[in-house]
Amino acid sequence: MNTNEKHVWFPAKKYGWGWGPPCRWQGWVVYVVWFALLFASGIFIAPRNIGLFVVCSLVLGIALCVVVFIKGEKPRWRWGKD
């Protein structure tokens, strides 16, 4: 077993650029935690301060993109032939 092998949580999409649904349980945990934080900020922050909610949503979105970029396959355009 190769110890330098990268365990991918988010495989690349078959067509187009980007990532598909998670292929490991860790990826699903990332999605569930991200959605829960976004939902909680929508309930607790949005009614009081919409600007803060927008900032919080942007930070959460960037954090999700960083995790997917680090733990996913290298993004490139794919035509389905792989």
User: pLDDT tier at 75 (50, 70, 90 boundaries)?
Assistant: confident
pLDDT digit string, tens, across residues 2-54? 445 678 999 988 888 888 899 999 999 999 999 999 999 999 999 999 999 99
Higher local confidence (pLDDT), 27 or 79 = 27
Of residues 54 and 74, the one with the higher pLDDT is 54
pLDDT, residue 7, reads 87
Given a cut of 80, is residue 56 above it in pLDDT? yes
Q: Given this model, what pLDDT does residue 1 score?
A: 42
Stated as kind and residue range, the H or E segment containing 31 is helix 25-44
The answer to whether the beta carbons of residues 67 and 33 sit under 8 Å apart is no
The domain segmentation of the chain, as residue ranges, is: 23-73
Classify residue 1 by burial, with Cβ atoms within 10 Å: 0-12, 13-18, 19+.
exposed
